[in-house]
Chain A
Amino acid sequence: MVTTSFCLRGVEFANRVFAASGTFGYGDEVLDLADPSRLGGIMTKSLSWKPRDGNAPRRVVETASGMLNSIGLANIGVHAFIETKLPTLRTLRTRIVANIAASSVDEYAQVLTLLDSQEGVDAFEINVSCPNVKEGGLNFGTNVDRTREITRRLRPLTQRPLIVKLTPNVTHISEFARAVEAEGADAVSLINTLVGMAVDIRTGRPKLSTVTGGLSGPAIKPVALAKVYEVAKAVKIPIFGIGGIMSAEDAVEFLMVGASAVEIGTLNYIDPAAGGRIAEGIAAFAAEKGLSDVGQLVGSLKADLSASILQSWL
């Protein structure tokens, strides 16, 4: 038997495959279609203090091997989450990672503090790809000082694992990873969606109501792998690799380049039970390789590139 479990800040996860935030609802929507106990955990839809309506339609557009979305962080708010979702989530045999989105550093702290007082929330993932109202909607996650500030503020507020989810829409994502590592984050997760757009040439208008949106799906996997590789070279804390994972083989690629765990996103829309199969596929691959622990795949990439060449090349 291959060991599939792993620990983060004393919390044990049954395996290294998670459902990515925003692609698995709050965790209770598809209990009839997918068995959550086959996952290491579920990242909830991003939760904010107050409910958010989200953006006007149109919110999704399919693109070549991918999709654009501009959901606008629509969510029921942390209070409704605690009242209507958490009681069910507590009964599931999987870990619940509450993903938090906010429009000010205070709001991040407020949401996290409230969730930290609840049983059934096993860890936190902080979505820093949110507009900062104080800075006229400038994205927190593209400013390394703001990203650091959020981590510094949140770290002392919880003893549970704190994962900071990074955006790829920056020049050097490793700089952001280093900053949050220095502030005591237990892990980073990456990548969130890439900024993209699509145009309806018949009307001459953008297809999304917000003009640009976030690209996800198999189209982004090569970018995501390179970002995980870059971050793995830069920090010691574990990485949750995300981006276009559609199979166990894709997931193994992420583990090899340095991810300790993976999150399945867009694939949940097409095949909500895929995460469990991917977890089993990874274990089977490790067994085939004669490994005793899936963790032995992490960072096992055989790359000849020297660190110095990598630096100049990035």
Chain B
Amino acid sequence: MSRAQVQGVVVARARVAEGIHRLTLKCPEVASSMRAGQFVNVRVRDDGWDPLLRRPFSVSRVDGDRIDLVFNVVGVGTKAMSSYEPGRSVDLLGPLGKPFAVDADFETALLVGGGLGVAPLPALTDELRRRGKSAITFLGARSRSQLYREHLFELHVATDDGSEGHHGTVVDLLSVYLGEHTVPSPMIFACGPTPMLRALGAFAKERSIPCELSLEGEMACGIGLCQGCPVERVGGAKRYALVCTEGPTFRAGEVIV
């Protein structure tokens, strides 16, 4: 899991859903050492200082010496990345952060992604399969056109507008599913917007299902230098944990999201 500052080379860029882009980079250093849930910090431009800071993205999937980043355009950085051309080299720091606890004691992983929180789930699916653990995936999006669903298995969908699957939130969808099915020794792995993570953490606690959440917060460095990415802990001597080095994955109940 050794971190490095490396150059990735853009192999492909594709628009994979409404407003959602996938960037495939050739980056053997990250591809060979990265684990699901970890992220890379991307220097968006190398010819100036605006935007100044790197932008963090989950590694969505590893294929040989390639990695995928999946993102939507929300501002200057992601806008620039959405027009990267093949051949361009991209300065990356990574892999960073703590991976998902794929080796924890469970049999069935319940993967929950809200919006772009789907990003790390394909890599997680691959790792679970390699370990012979089964995965059931629950995705939430605003509407059908904004669903990214590649490389996922046993997929269940919820949309806010009802254009596909369950009409409602992904947490409701999970609740309905668990009401109708018996899942042996489950553990939830989730990534998505804060309100979703909060609701899911509460749901998991109520049902006594172990649950790991991947958080997204502002980061100035992503490598533990700035103290800019605190999340409040529950109990313990230290009040805050750093999302970039102690996370981004945390057990629900370990931190206040």
Residues of A within 8 A of B231 (CB): 57
Cβ contact within 8 Å between B52 and A54: no
What is the bound-complex CA distance between A268 and B218, given in angstroms?
A: 17
**B224 on the A face (CB < 8 A):** yes
Instruction: Give the shortest distance, in Å, between A44 (CB) and chain B (any CB).
Output: 12
Instruction: Give the shortest distance, in Å, between B45 (CB) and chain A (any CB).
Output: 11
Cβ contact within 8 Å between B49 and A217: yes
Residues of B within 8 A of A269 (CB): 53-54, 220-221, 223, 225-226
Instruction: Give the shortest distance, in Å, between B256 (CB) and chain A (any CB).
Output: 11
Contact residues on A (Cβ < 8 Å of other chain), bracket: 35 or more
Residues of A within 8 A of B5 (CB): 33, 271-273
Chain A's closest residue to B43 (CB) is A270
What is the bound-complex CA distance between A308 and B11, given in angstroms?
A: 61
Chain A's closest residue to B77 (CB) is A62
Residues of A within 8 A of B221 (CB): 268-270
Contact of B50 among A32, A64, A71, A266 (CB under 8 A): A64
Instruction: Give the shortest distance, in Å, between A88 (CB) and chain B (any CB).
Output: 14
What is the bound-complex CA distance between A271 and B4, given in angstroms?
A: 11
Stretch from A20-28, A103-111, A162-170, A297-305 at the B interface: A20-28
| 5 residue pairs from A and B, CB less than 8 Å apart | A32-B2, A57-B231, A69-B226, A217-B52, A272-B223
Residues in A lying within 8 Å of B, measured CB to CB: 22-25, 29-30, 32-33, 45, 51, 53-54, 56-62, 64-67, 69, 71, 74, 217-218, 246, 266, 268-273
Given contacts A59-B218, A270-B54, 19 further A-B contacts (CB under 8 A): A23-B225, A23-B226, A32-B4, A33-B93, A33-B223, A57-B218, A57-B229, A57-B231, A60-B220, A62-B51, A65-B50, A65-B52, A67-B53, A67-B220, A69-B220, A71-B226, A74-B240, A271-B5, A271-B43
Residues in B lying within 8 Å of A, measured CB to CB: 2-5, 43, 49-54, 93, 217-221, 223-232, 238-240
